[in-house]
Amino acid sequence: MTGIEWTDETWNPVTGCTKVSQGCKFCYAETMHKRLMKMCPQKYGTPFGVVRCHESELDKPFKWTKPTMCFVNSMSDLFHKDIPIDFICKVFVVMNQCNPKHIFQVLTKRPETLFRNYSVGYIENLNAVLNWTQNIWLGVSIENRDVMERLELLKATSAKVRFLSLEPLLEDLGELNLSGIDWVIVGGESGRTPRPIKAEWVGNIRDQCIAQSVPFFFKQWGGTNKKKAGRELDGREWLEMPKRELPF
């Protein structure tokens, strides 16, 4: 089980990451990594900025007896530049073999990696060679207008289910063209020094999701006490999910 509201399980065949944009400033994974260094030094014994692949973790999903919704690499980014192409392909093979039993939610801040030109054998770009089975949901994180190009890159992928994680939401994102997007998650920043979120920013996104028939999931207001702040918006919780035909 996991404390992440929109998934059932996490799977971390890769650990470690580096910062790429403002959403990374107070990275929860970095904070958690520091705690795990003492608890599980074999897997988390190196600094967070060192990206490591763990072959021993690849068979973990095969051990889940019940259909599971899984967040892939909650402690890293599957499309980080330091992850070998061959290992990314191995992760995809596992996800492919678990279709349709498990759903895998892959969330990245680096969708450009999928379209980078490679001079390695048969690979023109990763998007073209990866097997995007129906159980692989691909999402991008967008925290402000500076990284809106991630939305268009997501739309250009071959993923069958595409979603946005607008968390931590740091400013009003304006008008969003959500054509080709199947789900939107919004959340405020939490922790010791969270940056503020405004209700009108969240309401604007919610209204656009309704107008464009896209499921809307409001994760949290965040703050120093996210549990107390809750996640009600206009008197109710918004916990919509994409339609799925898998055995849940």
**Domain-embedded: residue 209:** no
The Cα 83–Cα 246 span in angstroms is 30
- How far apart are the C-alpha atoms of 133 and 99, rounded to whole Å? 7
Distances (CA, A) of 195 to 147, 165, 169, 224: 17, 17, 9, 10
Give residue-wise pLDDT tens across range 180-216: 999 999 999 999 999 999 999 999 999 999 999 999 9
Three-state DSSP string of 149-163: HHHHHHHHCCCCEEE
pLDDT surpasses 90 at 79: yes
Q: Within a domain: residue 245?
A: no
Residue 69 lies in a domain: yes
Look at residue 248 in the predicted model and tell me its pLDDT: 43
| Banded pLDDT at 125 (limits 50, 70, 90) | confident
Total structural domains within the chain: 1
Long-range contacts of 147-153 (CB under 8 A, 24+ apart): 147/21, 147/23, 147/109, 148/173, 150/109, 150/111, 151/176, 151/177, 151/181, 153/111, 153/112, 153/114, 153/115
- Full domain range(s) for residue 59: 7-18+45-138
Model confidence over 52-62: pLDDT tens digits? 999 999 999 99
**Quick check: is 104 in a domain?**
yes
Q: Which residues pair with 103 in a beta bridge?
A: 69
Token readout for 52 is: 């490591």
CATH number at residue 63: 3.30.750
Structure tokens at 14: 């890769």
